[in-house]
């Protein structure tokens, strides 16, 4: 009896192999021995369970350069070009007091056992002493966002850039956290774990441990592919609609309801974009996604039909 679990693409039987990946929404701390700029760094791939988006990777680093008070802590956030000082980010999220920020990180700052942690935060306090208020912090972060205003006056461009910054803090910084308070506590926990690892209180995480890994099965892999090609379809539709608005036949009759009609809808919404993308991935085995650092080649393979056990083994392979 055939157990199924494979695809037939152009007459060829294809199986999709499960892929290992790092577990999401989990903080990992590593030694920065491969980089001269950072001594230690922590990372988390944040993805919410209530909507389907690509994981957002946030990194927190301890600088190798001493500023006279110690080594400062910085954070990399998607769509922001420069690392942001830890205490500046806390202020941008609405916490202005250095004492309150330390409480988010250490919880009990009066505990003598935590004195070493408190000393490690001195450099970060000094790095952020130019930015006292939330407005100062937002202005500082806005100067580093990956956004260039086009075709607008100076005031409109500045307002749009600030809105972009707030959108980044809301949607790219720990998107699996639904409130600012949750983001603040997770940010504090991330800094706490990073400093404790740098002090040798806890060991660095092991990338190869199966405790820190998850397996993506066929459904997840195809879901990621579909999302990528669906977004591509939407962008192509936007371009075609703008082209029709500017140059379409509706202009001669000024019939706005006729911008999209039966003669041009096939050009606007291409029915083959998603289908061809999925077929190509299954046929070639290349499941790589644009704007992603991971390369997924050889994910789909021709099913081994030598024996029944060989087929079953191939279907379950990781």
Per-residue tens of pLDDT for the chain, all 318 residues: 788 889 999 899 999 999 998 899 999 999 988 888 999 999 999 999 888 788 899 999 999 998 888 899 999 999 999 999 999 999 999 999 999 999 999 988 888 888 888 899 999 999 998 999 999 999 999 999 988 877 788 888 888 999 999 999 999 999 999 899 999 999 999 999 999 999 999 999 998 898 999 999 999 899 989 988 998 999 999 988 888 888 777 766 776 777 777 878 888 888 889 999 999 999 998 888 765 666 788 899 999 999 999 999 999 998
Q: In 52-110, which ranges are E strands?
A: 56-66, 71-76, 84-85
Classify residue 79: in a domain, yes or no.
yes
- What backbone torsions phi and psi does residue 22 show, to the nearest 5 degrees? -70, 145
Give the position of tokens 């392979």: 317
* Interatomic CA distance for residues 97 and 238, integer angstroms: 46
pLDDT score, position 289: 72
What strands lie across the sheet with 12-16, from one edge to the other?
A: 7-9, 12-16, 300-302
Is 2 within the bounds of a domain?
Answer: no
Residue 1 is assigned to a structural domain of this protein: no
> What's the Rg (C-alpha) of the chain?
25
Contact predicate 75/86, CB 8 Å: yes
Quickly list H helices, 77-151.
Answer: 86-92, 98-106, 115-120, 122-127, 134-142
**Predicted local distance difference test score (pLDDT) of residue 291:** 57
Give CA–CA dist 89/291, Å, rounded. Answer: 26
Are 189 and 297 part of one and the same domain? no
CB 278 within 8 A of CB 226: yes
CA-CA distance, 228 to 233, in Å (whole number)? 9
C-alpha to C-alpha distance for 279 and 7, rounded to whole angstroms: 10
pLDDT of residue 157: 85
> Are 300 and 281 in contact, with CB atoms under 8 Å apart?
yes
- Do 182 and 273 have their domain in common? no
Q: Do residue 234 and residue 164 come from a single domain?
A: no
Tell me if 185 is assigned to some domain.
yes
Question: What is d(CA 109, CA 116) in angstroms, rounded to the nearest whole number?
Answer: 11
- Based on the domain organization, do 234 and 200 belong to the same domain? no
- Domain identity same for 12 and 102: no
Residues 236 and 270 sit within 8 Å (Cβ to Cβ): yes
Per-residue model confidence (pLDDT) at position 181: 94
Measured in degrees and rounded to the nearest 5, phi and psi for residue 152 equal -140, 160
User: Is 112 within a domain?
Assistant: yes
Which of these three, 213, 231, 248, is where a domain ends?
213
Note whether 202 and 131 are same-domain residues: yes
Say if residue 248 is in the same domain as residue 301: yes
Q: Which residue has the tokens 């004492």?
A: 99
The Cβ of residue 276 has, within 10 Å, a number of other Cβ atoms equal to 12
- Do 195 and 89 lie in one domain? The reply is yes
Q: Are residues 258 and 160 in the same domain?
A: no
- Residue 301's nearest CA partner among 201, 99, 316, 168 is 316
Structure tokens at 53: 């988006």
231-238 contacts, C-beta under 8 A, 24 or more apart: 232/273, 232/277, 233/269, 233/270, 233/273, 233/274, 236/270, 236/273, 237/268, 237/269
Domain boundary among 181, 213, 245: 213
Q: Are 83 and 61 in contact (CB under 8 A)?
A: yes
Q: Are residues 177 and 32 in the same domain?
A: yes
For 120, phi and psi rounded to 5 degrees? -70, -15
101 with 146, same domain: the answer is: yes
Say yes or no: 197 and 255 in one domain. no
- Which distant-in-sequence residues (6+ apart) come within 8 Å of 61 by Cβ? 32, 37, 38, 40, 41, 42, 73, 74, 75, 76, 83
H-helix or E-strand containing 44? strand 38-46
Angstrom distance (rounded) from CA 19 to CA 214 = 8
**The domain spanning residue 59 has which CATH number?**
3.90.1110.10
State how far the Cα of 317 lies from the Cα of 311, in Å rounded to an integer.
10
Question: Is residue 100 in a domain?
Answer: yes
Q: Of 164, 182, 213, which residue is a domain's last?
A: 213
By residue range, what is the domain housing residue 132?
21-213
User: Total structural domains in the chain?
Assistant: 2
Token reading at 58? 């946030």
Assess if residue 209 is contained within a domain: yes
């Amino acid at each position: 009896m055939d157990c199924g679990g494979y695809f037939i693409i152009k007459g060829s039987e294809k199986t999709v192999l499960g892929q290992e990946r790092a577990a999401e929404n989990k903080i990992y701390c590593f030694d920065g021995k491969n980089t001269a700029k950072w001594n230690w760094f922590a990372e988390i791939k944040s993805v919410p369970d209530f909507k389907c988006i690509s994981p957002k990777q946030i990194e927190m680093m301890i600088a190798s350069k001493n500023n006279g008070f110690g080594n400062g802590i910085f954070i990399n956030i998607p769509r922001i070009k420069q690392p942001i000082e830890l205490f500046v980010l806390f202020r941008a999220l609405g916490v202005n007091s250095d004492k309150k920020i330390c409480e988010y990180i250490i919880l009990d700052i009066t505990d003598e056992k935590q004195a070493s942690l408190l000393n490690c935060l001195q450099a970060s306090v000094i790095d952020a002493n130019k930015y006292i208020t939330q407005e100062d912090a937002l202005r500082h972060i806005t100067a580093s966002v990956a956004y260039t205003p086009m075709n607008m006056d100076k005031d409109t461009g500045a307002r749009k850039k600030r809105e972009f910054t707030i959108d980044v803090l809301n949607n790219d910084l720990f998107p699996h956290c639904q409130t600012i308070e949750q983001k603040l506590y997770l940010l504090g926990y991330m800094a706490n774990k990073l400093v404790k690892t740098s002090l040798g209180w806890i060991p660095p995480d092991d990338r190869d441990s199966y405790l820190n890994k998850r397996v993506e099965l066929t459904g997840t892999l195809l879901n990621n592919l579909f999302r990528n090609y669906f977004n591509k379809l939407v962008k192509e539709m936007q371009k075609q609609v703008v082209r029709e608005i500017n140059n379409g036949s509706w202009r001669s009759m000024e019939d706005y309801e006729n911008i999209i009609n039966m003669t041009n809808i096939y050009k606007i919404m291409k029915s083959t974009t998603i289908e061809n993308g999925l077929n190509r991935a299954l046929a070639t085995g290349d499941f790589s996604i644009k704007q992603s650092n991971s390369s997924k080649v050889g994910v789909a393979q021709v099913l081994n039909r030598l024996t029944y056990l060989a087929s079953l083994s191939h279907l379950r392979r990781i």
